[in-house]
Structure 1
């Protein structure tokens, strides 16, 4: 992609962004201006209104249930057949009169009415609180509420307030379960006022619909027929809540919204200027950062990464430069490592050959003298010489292994068997240092590699783990498992870990932090693992180290190995 095309794509994107920032708010406010009435309707039909209506419906039912409970309390006291007579009011004891007077004191109850088994009106308390004429007039407005009858409300009259009769059958146990009826004369205004809370926000005016297709306001005044109601919710059969929207709230606030639109245009222009300034400054900063990173690479600094930059095009460019730097660094490091290993290998092979022959002569001579020596002190000194010669031979063997490792003899074998063999070989050393070695491997897991190479690598890693632990109690775990297309062997210890400054050079030949180490152990391990088409990685922290050996599951012997 050319620089010109790149510039055009960025310019187009910023242009589209500017248009979106400018036009979207204008469209939003225009929609608000044109659909103000729809927003009002949405406001009152949302979950909040439904919740308020549900609360009113529940309050209505609770109010009537409380009156039913009041009837139940009265029924327990009014258990005499003499009371349920036409002249029952003359047979009412003073105590019951006081009780009835107490029950009619609340402002939502006008009185109490008595009826016989055929629901014929008998008398009321107080005496003129109800009459047979009024009772007959509300027969056509009867509704069933749970186990009671709700009659009314009465027609509106200026002579007396409207009432509702809540009548319930009661069973007199003392009179062989004789059934009579007892009713509460309820103040209709107390029921009509319950939906009052729906009109507190001023958007709707609440009304109550009653049997006979009649509608009353919240103070119990009748409403003329033909009115339009915007919302209606049922309380129970023939009773409902009706809501009428206040028309004054639907008038469009034209002047105010015009000022809002003018202010919005000015604000949009200011936002565009700020956005263009910000984008220009950000783009310049990103390009300067990329130039600095490329100049560092050109000057030979291949280890410092190029900082990632946000944005699709700039991010892709940064990623490509970083990928180029990383690959170039790997190629150079690989070439340097190959040349260094070749030089070290040739040097090690020559030194080992020139040193081993004299050492063998010295070793044979020393062992011969040791056999002939009878002086204990001289024998001890000669034994020390033989032991030190053995150590020197071990160093020379490591040099030869690094310089000319034996070609791998790869074969397919059960991994768990070889891991347990390694554990047995290390058993004495593990017990000597009071450490522990755990093997975790599936019984059927197979590996295609050289078993002797694997033994050498694992023994070296376990010994390194034990030796790096200062004190007693090192726990080493060899865990093998299949991961996607690779077989992974992890050697984990709970030691003090490796310093990050040492971790970068851990595989370099002759680099060691041990006072008596040669620095060839891990270098040889890397050579052997790579000879078997594997990879070795080390992860360390202050609470332990994990060495990861990764082998391809379908690895084959490399015929080009020399």
Structure 2
């Protein structure tokens, strides 16, 4: 940390000084070259030429439109509805240019009738533009720009008359402007004003555009006050002038201000070093305090709160190590508690099952005898219902015993396709009643070593759970595949899925979301899968179904054939 602080301090001290020296030298070298009369005159001539080229391009575009639009109906209210697809495409192409806002159409009395696109220019804005002096340019009229406004940029109108149905025009193509329809390009004035930006010399020269209405604009088309100190004024059009303003930067010698700049630079460098020291110290203290607080949480038994992370590389590595320790400690404690809990539940379940099963057996035997001797049919039906309920209780007790004292598996080769086919045969009728489609995806000759009865019990429980998740129909897939020297058996459905907060608890004994469930189904599946050397996993996306998989690795007593 101290080494990094040293390097940052040195860079903070040297970089500003070296940068200032380099910038000082390059700035004044460039300044001397820029201020020569020859370069300034050359750039001014180039700017004037670019200005003329820009207006000539717009003039050629306007002339092309005048040649195409010669139908009288176009220059009336609603004239846009009389456009042919070709003319409309031409207007779209013209309006998409960066230099234009759109195209305007005027009737024989020079009234604005419509624009393309709509709203590119309003009659009110056009009336204000007509109040500014208009000039002739190559057979067209330049009107504007309109008086500046805060809510919209200024525009310049380039307008030319159109001869209709054999009408006459004078030699420059304008005809009788007061009694002839016209087309105008709505030009972005700021794109025209930006041409003078090449003459900008930061802190020394600022170009301006002076127009016949007495207003002056900068290179972004904003209205500015007239310059007081001019180094040149160059005519562009009648009444249009390119003016170059000299700022006070050249009036005051730079050497007179250099001493103050150096003093400020040294003071700023020292202040910068002090600030860096304070920031690094406070940041390191804040990170260490957060890390110490996290360690104290772990020491006090709080294993759920994550260790605070840091952006510093060294502190981050330490925090990650402590976070790994917290996870491992949490897993060890959770595993120990799980083992103790399973053992306690097993003993309790075994005792309860033993104490309850004996009287249940007596009750079941008595009921079966009473059913055989009862002559009344309605009484026999009631006794049969009671027998079914006792049988259901006996199945619950059986599940408790399977969970408490599952028998040791007797591994044998199991042909997986046959096992899955037999399962689907047992549940096909129930699936059909629920409008559920069963699909089996399994390679031929896929074999795994496990206890056949326990594996069948696991898969049957999983299939029944999937059917219960689809009361209104759906699909259930039974998949089997060989992956990375393991066999994976999966039961998946397209039901509502399992919420995230329940996914970690569904294999806990006696946890259930069903009103009639015991919460032992998945717990028994998990126990039997572990007994057979497998691992049960659950994947689910709410609203997209759930997938329960059992993966059997290849090891002692196991074999994979495909």
TM-score by length of 1: 0.55
**2:416, 2:26 → 1: CA distance?**
75
Secondary structure of 1:477's partner? strand
Tell me if the contact between 1:492 and 1:544 (Cα under 8 Å) persists in the aligned partners: no
Tell me if the contact between 1:495 and 1:545 (Cα under 8 Å) persists in the aligned partners: yes
2:497 corresponds in structure 1 to 497
1:82 corresponds in structure 2 to none
Tell me if the contact between 2:533 and 2:553 (Cα under 8 Å) persists in the aligned partners: no
**2:529, 2:14 → 1: CA distance?**
64
The alpha-carbon deviation at position 379 of structure 1 amounts to 0.7
1:81 corresponds in structure 2 to none
2:460 corresponds in structure 1 to 459
1:268 corresponds in structure 2 to 269
Is the alpha carbon distance of 1:259 and 1:481 closer, same or farther for their aligned partners in structure 2, counting shifts above 3 Å? farther
Alignment pair present for 1:18 and 2:2: no
**1:464, 1:391 → 2: CA distance?**
17
Secondary structure of 1:351's partner? helix
Tell me if the contact between 2:448 and 2:487 (Cα under 8 Å) persists in the aligned partners: no
Is the alpha carbon distance of 1:38 and 1:436 closer, same or farther for their aligned partners in structure 2, counting shifts above 3 Å? farther
Tell me if the contact between 1:461 and 1:491 (Cα under 8 Å) persists in the aligned partners: yes
Tell me if the contact between 2:415 and 2:448 (Cα under 8 Å) persists in the aligned partners: no
2:474 corresponds in structure 1 to 474
The alpha-carbon deviation at position 402 of structure 1 amounts to 0.7
Pairwise mapping of residues 319-334 of structure 1 onto structure 2 (< 5 A)?
Answer: 319-334=320-335
CA RMSD of aligned residues (A): 4.6
Task: Mark the runs of 5 or more structure 2 residues left unpaired by the alignment.
Answer: 35-45, 54-195, 202-253
2:307 corresponds in structure 1 to 306
Is the alpha carbon distance of 1:331 and 1:360 closer, same or farther for their aligned partners in structure 2, counting shifts above 3 Å? same
Is the alpha carbon distance of 1:310 and 1:550 closer, same or farther for their aligned partners in structure 2, counting shifts above 3 Å? farther
**2:365, 2:267 → 1: CA distance?**
101
Secondary structure of 2:491's partner? strand
The alpha-carbon deviation at position 438 of structure 1 amounts to 2.8
Is the alpha carbon distance of 1:479 and 1:21 closer, same or farther for their aligned partners in structure 2, counting shifts above 3 Å? farther
The alpha-carbon deviation at position 540 of structure 1 amounts to 3.7
Tell me if the contact between 1:448 and 1:555 (Cα under 8 Å) persists in the aligned partners: no
Count of residue pairs brought into register by the alignment: 372
Task: Mark the runs of 5 or more structure 1 residues left unpaired by the alignment.
Answer: 1-9, 44-51, 60-196, 203-252
TM-score by length of 2: 0.55
Pairwise mapping of residues 405-424 of structure 1 onto structure 2 (< 5 A)?
Answer: 405-411=406-412, 413=414, 415-424=416-425
2:532 corresponds in structure 1 to 532
Of 24-33 and 426-435, the range deviating more from structure 2 = 24-33
Pairwise mapping of residues 360-509 of structure 1 onto structure 2 (< 5 A)?
Answer: 360-411=361-412, 413=414, 415-439=416-440, 441=441, 443=443, 446=446, 448-450=448-450, 451-469=452-470, 471-481=471-481, 484=484, 487-509=487-509
The alpha-carbon deviation at position 281 of structure 1 amounts to 2.3
**2:20, 2:488 → 1: CA distance?**
62
Tell me if the contact between 1:405 and 1:528 (Cα under 8 Å) persists in the aligned partners: yes
The alpha-carbon deviation at position 404 of structure 1 amounts to 1.8
Is the alpha carbon distance of 1:31 and 1:537 closer, same or farther for their aligned partners in structure 2, counting shifts above 3 Å? farther
**1:38, 1:488 → 2: CA distance?**
76
**1:308, 1:21 → 2: CA distance?**
28
Is the alpha carbon distance of 1:305 and 1:419 closer, same or farther for their aligned partners in structure 2, counting shifts above 3 Å? farther
Secondary structure of 1:426's partner? helix
Q: Residues 235-262 of structure 1: CA distance to partner in whole angstroms, max 9, x if unpaired?
A: xxxxxxxxxxxxxxxxxx8777776665
Q: Residues 370-395 of structure 1: CA distance to partner in whole angstroms, max 9, x if unpaired?
A: 22222101110121122112112211
Q: Highest CA radius of gyration, 1 or 2? A: 1
The alpha-carbon deviation at position 405 of structure 1 amounts to 1.7
**1:406, 1:390 → 2: CA distance?**
22
2:347 corresponds in structure 1 to 346
**1:482, 1:266 → 2: CA distance?**
72
